[in-house]
Structure formats: structure tokens, C-alpha cells
């Protein structure tokens, strides 16, 4: 269980994190989203006990991080941004060091060490010096270090940053497996990740929480929620459909991509666009090889929540219209 | 396992993981020999003692100890591993003590490797070995003093060069405080009590006393208090940086 109360952080006069209050329960995977510099890492560092909050408090597993830091740190595993480690050590020495500091000994230590080496595929590099490893392996060493004591709470700051797609997939699978009985906080700016691993997402902008709900609920905020997207074979049909669909009462707007012959019908709130659009396709007998109902676009929701007011959202959202 | 010991072992091993340790030891031994035999006139004096050897230690340490201490925290800060260390379940004191003891132990190893000179002087004559042991203890304590200063300054920066230069500078001040040149100068403007206070802060005053073979409790207390003070300052600097 992690609870933060009125957590704030000033760097000089600059307010980096502004009055964050939230709590996370075991079994939850919380995605922490925000643009670069929004205060993600600062918040994670305060939870992990690396920096002290200017105001407010953090409690991890019932221990206040300022008053009982050792107990709080003992129950969590933390992967700092960039997965720093001691470059001159071998993977094996490094894991031994962390296991020693974490007080693991005997059979438990042997088993846990085996488990993390196995799960993160560190076997082939176990006797290699860390600074000679690739970025992907270093990140995995960082994850192994965070997992070695089988913590109840896991805090991962951009765990998939810099990994290739296969490695990303692997890490996400790992997080999903771990999340059954643990509490995981993952910061990321990769939005597809939120869908794959998180049960809840908090979006912060300029140090404040601007959204705190499930990824599905976030998508429902999108103007593309329940939008119908379709592709045509013929240019003339694409053109005709654009006009006809735009005139439907259920449709707020039609976005067109002439190069790929695609249309996206953005619904008016609460309208059943799918039924209306399919009816019109049947009526005109258009060739439509592709048709699907969108659940919403997280990137568009993210932009609308995190961009300072004044930059119209639709401008950037229609960037594909070319 | 005791956490200070875990930090100590990792830190000490990391010295030997890079060429730094070997380069340092070789330079230390070569310079110690040069000062003893060339500058100090070990043979010409015709006396069976190690005064010409120990006399130059403050100056050797002034230049060489910052090379050991500069990386202690600056490197951790620069590589980001400090974030890892500080989020492990250890107290700030355990980290500071473990690192200091490792650096001190390393300086001790370098000092111990000067043993051939002790064998030499015993072969050539019959020196007062008690006095030599005392001088070694004094030298080690002084190395600890230099190290604690360097460690504190290393905690304040992420740049090892800055850590080296500031450590050498502050060390220089602590050395010079005992020099007649400096003391004569301040004696002209300040009352005797303050002059004595300045003189008593100097490494020289206390090291000279011990290296003559007299281990006085006051000198031990001086080095103990000095090291304690700079370690506390290190913890304070780290804690302040934490709030930044």
C-alpha cells in the first residue's frame, strides 16, 4: 500500500510537484504518465526516498518514508530512471551486493538470485562487467536488482525506455505476471504500455494530477471514443462517402486521409455512429474492406490533458490528414 | 551481514576493479622512496630511524589522498548510482561509514606496502621500533584526516576534478596552520590564545608529536574528532543535497 498526502516539491522557486494525494493498493498497476518534465521522476524519487518532499508525506507499506526510511525502503524495489548501477562490477557481484544489503542469506538468497537471473535472462552475461553490457541488458540488471528481494511494492521509472520491441514485450509480460499480488507503479510516456500493463493511470501535468482513472475510462474521454473508421478501395467512393457521412446527424466531424482512402467519423456525444454508418454503406453499396469501431485514442486524451491551454487540440490531432 | 561491512567490501573491491588502485600504490611507493632517499638523505644522515621517511608524509598525502577521496561520492553522483545506493534499506551513516572505512583501508594498504624500508633500517642498524610503529599509526591517522576532508568535498560535487582540487586546497590549509611561517604572521595580529588554537588545528603539530614516537591521548582525540567532524559534515552535505 502506498499513500501520498499533499506531496509537493520545490526546486528553488520552481514548483515541480504540486500537492499530489493518491493511494495505490496491492494488485494495482499504476501507470504514471506525463510529458517530460511534468514531475514523474520527482514524484517517484520522493516515494522511493531518494529526495525529500518540500511538503506532504509518503507512506509505503505503512512506513513513513521520512521517519522510517529503512523499513519503507526494505519493502520496495526501485528501478531509478536510466537503471544506474555500478559499472565496474560484474552482474553476479552486483546482484550479490544488493542481496547482501537487502539482508538475504542462505537458501532464500540462492533461490531468489536464481529466480531473477532466470526471469530476466541474465544467465549468458552473469560474469560480464556491467559497463560492457548493452542498454537492454543493463536495464534488465536494474530490474533484477529491484526484484531480488521479492518486494511487495515495485517502483519502476521508465522500465522499457531504450529497449527494442521484443525486450519491451518481455518486460511488460513480467510486470503483468508480477502484478497479481504486488503493487506496481510504472512511469512511462509510451501510451500503448498503459493499455498492456496498467489497471489505472494517473496523468500529471505541471506537477498536478489531471486524470486518475482506468485506461478504458481515459479512452472514453477521447473524441474518438466510438468513432467509426473505414477504408475504401475507390477514390470516387471515398470522396462521396466523405460528404454523405459528414451529413449524418450522428456524426460531429469526418476526418479524411486521401492517401490511404480512409475516413474517420467522429461521433456526437452519445450517438450510435456505427449503426448509421453501416446503414449508409449498405444503401450505397460501397466497397469497404475495413471498418472498425474505435475505443478512443489515448495519445489524443494525453495531449488534451497535458498541453497548456491555448494550443487547440484538434490541430495536432488532425496531423494525419494529409 | 552488517551493512557497513557490505558497503565497505563493495567499495574496497571497486578500487581494485580499475587500474586506479595499482597506479596509486606505485606512485605512492615511488614518491615515498624518492623523498626518503634523495631529498631526505636517509643514508647520509647515518642514523637508524625513519624520520626522513615520515617527514614527507603530510606532503605526499596532500597530493595523493584527494585522488582516493575524489571519487567516493562524486562518481556515484555522476553515474547516478547514488540514487540506487540511497534507496537501498541502509542509513546515511552506514553508507558514509562504509565508504570512509574502505578508502581508509585502501590508504592503509598503500602505507603497509612501504614495509621494505622498515626492514632496511632494521638491517642497517637497530632503530627504536616502538617509535616506528607509533609513527605508522600517526601517519595512518593523518591519512584518515585527509580522507575525511576529501570525502566531504566529494559529496558536494559531481565533478571529480573539482573534488580533487578542493580537497587538496582544504588539506593545504590544515597543514599550513602549523607552520612557523603562518604562525609568526598571525602572532603579529592575533592574541596568543587564537594562535595556539590555529596551531592545534594543524595536522603537522599532531603528526610531528606522534611521529617522534609519543602517542599522546590528545593527538588521538584530535584525529578522532577531526574525522568525526568531517564525516558528520559529509552526512549533512548528502542530506542537504537530498532536499534540493
Q: CA B181 to CA B190: how far, in whole Å?
A: 14
pLDDT above 60: residue A316: no
Residue A311 has what pLDDT?
Answer: 52
Asked if ipTM goes beyond 0.90, one says no
Averaged pLDDT, A86-91: 93
Share of chain A above pLDDT 70, in %: 95
Q: CA B181 to CA B176: how far, in whole Å?
A: 8
pLDDT above 70: residue A182: yes
Note the pTM of the prediction, 2 decimals. 0.86
Measure in Å the smallest separation between the Cα of A241 and chain B Cα atoms. Answer: 57
Q: CA A245 to CA A229: how far, in whole Å?
A: 11
Measure in Å the smallest separation between the Cα of B42 and chain A Cα atoms. Answer: 41
Residue A310 has what pLDDT?
Answer: 56
Put simply, the answer to whether B84 touches A89 (Cβ < 8 Å) is no
Task: Give the nearest partner residue to B89 out of A70, A88, A145, using CB atoms.
Answer: A70
Q: CA A173 to CA A105: how far, in whole Å?
A: 28
C-alpha cell of A322?
Answer: 494529409
Confidence of residue A80 (pLDDT cuts 50, 70, 90): very high
DSSP state of A309: T
Residue of chain B minimizing CA distance to A87: B79
Put simply, the answer to whether A84 touches B79 (Cβ < 8 Å) is yes
**A85 Cβ under 8 Å from any chain B Cβ:** yes
H or E stretch at A300: helix A298-306
pLDDT digit string, tens, across residues A128-157: 999 999 888 999 999 999 999 999 999 999
Put simply, the answer to whether A85 touches B81 (Cβ < 8 Å) is yes
Residue of chain A minimizing CA distance to B77: A84
Put simply, the answer to whether A101 touches B87 (Cβ < 8 Å) is no
Q: CA A111 to CA A113: how far, in whole Å?
A: 5
Q: CA B132 to CA B50: how far, in whole Å?
A: 7
Q: Which of A50-64, A190-204, B138-152, B220-234 has the lowest mean pLDDT?
A: A190-204
Residue A222 has what pLDDT?
Answer: 83
Q: In what order do the strands lie in the sheet with A183-188?
A: A76-79, A153-157, A183-188, A29-33, A200-205, A208-213
Which one of A10, A95, A101, A157 would you mutate to disrupt binding with B, by most B Cβ within 10 Å of its Cβ?
A: A101
The residue to which cell 525486450 is assigned: A167
C-alpha cell of B118?
Answer: 622498515
Confidence of residue A321 (pLDDT cuts 50, 70, 90): very low
pLDDT above 70: residue A312: no
Residue A174 has what pLDDT?
Answer: 87
For chain B (length 244 residues), average pLDDT per consecutive 10? 90 90 93 85 76 87 93 92 94 95 95 91 87 90 94 93 93 82 79 80 83 84 93 94 77
Mean pLDDT score across all residues of chain B: 89
Residue A322 has what pLDDT?
Answer: 34
Averaged pLDDT, A78-104: 93
Residue A71 has what pLDDT?
Answer: 94
Measure in Å the smallest separation between the Cα of B229 and chain A Cα atoms. Answer: 24
Share of chain A above pLDDT 90, in %: 43
Q: CA A197 to CA B174: how far, in whole Å?
A: 58
Amino acid at each position: 500500500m502506498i499513500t501520498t498526502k499533499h506531496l509537493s516539491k520545490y526546486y528553488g522557486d520552481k514548483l515541480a510537484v504540486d500537492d499530489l494525494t493518491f493511494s495505490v493498493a496491492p494488485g494495482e498497476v499504476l501507470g504514471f504518465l506525463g510529458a517530460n518534465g511534468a514531475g514523474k521522476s520527482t514524484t517517484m524519487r520522493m516515494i522511493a526516498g531518494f529526495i525529500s518532499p518540500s511538503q506532504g508525506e509518503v507512506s509505503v507499506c505503512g512506513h513513513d518514508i521520512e521517519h522510517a526510511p529503512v523499513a519503507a525502503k526494505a519493502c520496495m524495489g526501485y528501478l531509478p530512471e536510466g537503471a544506474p548501477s555500478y559499472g565496474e562490477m560484474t552482474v553476479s557481484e552486483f546482484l550479490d551486493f544488493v542481496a547482501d544489503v537487502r539482508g538475504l542469506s542462505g537458501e532464500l538468497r540462492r533461490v531468489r538470485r536464481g529466480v531473477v537471473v532466470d526471469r530476466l535472462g541474465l544467465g549468458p552475461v552473469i560474469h560480464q562487467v556491467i559497463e560492457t553490457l548493452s542498454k537492454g541488458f543493463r536495464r534488465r540488471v536494474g530490474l533484477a536488482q529491484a526484484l531480488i528481494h521479492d518486494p511487495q511494492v515495485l517502483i519502476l521509472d521508465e522500465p522499457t525506455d531504450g529497449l527494442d520491441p521484443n525486450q519491451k514485450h518481455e518486460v511488460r509480460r513480467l510486470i503483468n505476471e508480477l502484478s497479481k499480488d504486488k503493487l506496481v507503479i510504472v512511469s512511462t510516456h509510451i501510451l500503448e504500455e498503459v493499455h498492456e500493463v496498467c489497471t489505472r493511470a494517473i496523468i500529471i501535468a505541471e506537477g498536478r494530477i489531471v486524470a486518475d482513472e482506468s485506461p478504458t475510462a481515459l479512452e472514453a474521454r477521447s473524441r474518438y471514443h466510438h468513432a467509426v473508421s473505414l477504408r475504401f478501395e475507390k477514390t470516387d467512393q471515398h470522396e462521396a462517402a466523405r460528404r454523405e457521412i459528414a451529413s449524418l446527424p450522428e456524426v460531429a466531424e469526418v476526418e479524411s486521409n486521401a492517401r490511404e482512402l480512409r475516413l474517420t467519423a467522429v461521433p456526437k456525444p452519445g450517438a450510435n455512429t456505427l449503426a448509421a454508418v453501416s446503414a449508409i454503406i449498405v444503401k450505397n453499396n460501397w466497397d469497404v474492406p475495413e471498418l472498425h469501431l474505435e475505443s478512443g485514442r489515448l495519445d489524443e486524451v494525453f495531449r488534451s490533458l497535458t498541453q497548456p491551454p491555448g494550443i487547440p487540440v484538434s490541430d495536432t490531432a488532425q496531423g494525419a490528414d494529409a | 551481514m552488517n551493512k557497513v561491512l557490505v558497503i565497505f567490501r563493495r567499495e574496497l573491491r571497486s578500487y581494485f576493479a580499475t587500474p586506479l588502485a595499482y597506479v596509486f600504490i606505485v606512485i605512492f611507493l615511488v614518491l615515498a622512496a624518492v623523498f626518503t632517499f634523495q631529498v631526505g638523505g636517509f643514508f647520509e644522515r647515518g642514523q637508524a630511524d625513519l624520520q626522513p621517511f615520515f617527514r614527507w608524509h603530510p606532503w605526499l598525502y596532500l597530493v595523493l589522498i584527494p585522488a582516493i577521496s575524489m571519487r567516493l561520492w562524486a562518481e556515484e553522483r555522476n553515474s547516478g548510482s547514488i540514487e540506487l545506493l540511497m534507496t537501498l534499506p541502509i542509513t546515511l551513516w552506514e553508507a558514509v561509514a562504509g565508504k570512509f572505512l574502505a578508502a581508509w583501508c585502501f590508504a592503509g594498504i598503500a602505507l603497509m606496502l612501504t614495509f621494505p624500508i622498515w626492514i632496511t633500517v632494521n638491517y642497517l642498524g637497530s632503530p627504536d621500533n616502538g617509535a616506528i610503529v607509533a609513527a605508522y599509526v600517526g601517519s595512518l591517522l593523518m591519512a584518515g584526516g585527509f580522507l575525511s576532508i576529501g570525502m566531504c568535498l566529494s559529496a558536494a560535487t559531481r565533478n571529480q576534478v573539482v573534488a580533487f582540487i578542493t580537497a587538496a586546497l582544504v588539506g593545504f590549509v590544515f597543514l599550513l596552520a602549523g607552520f612557523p611561517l603562518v604562525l609568526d604572521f598571525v602572532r603579529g595580529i592575533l592574541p596568543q590564545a587564537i594562535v595556539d588554537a590555529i596551531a592545534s588545528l594543524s595536522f603537522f603539530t599532531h603528526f610531528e608529536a606522534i611521529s617522534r614516537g609519543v602517542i599522546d591521548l590528545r593527538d588521538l582525540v584530535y584525529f578522532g574528532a577531526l574525522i568525526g567532524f568531517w564525516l558528520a559534515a559529509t552526512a549533512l552535505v548528502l542530506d542537504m543535497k537530498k532536499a534540493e
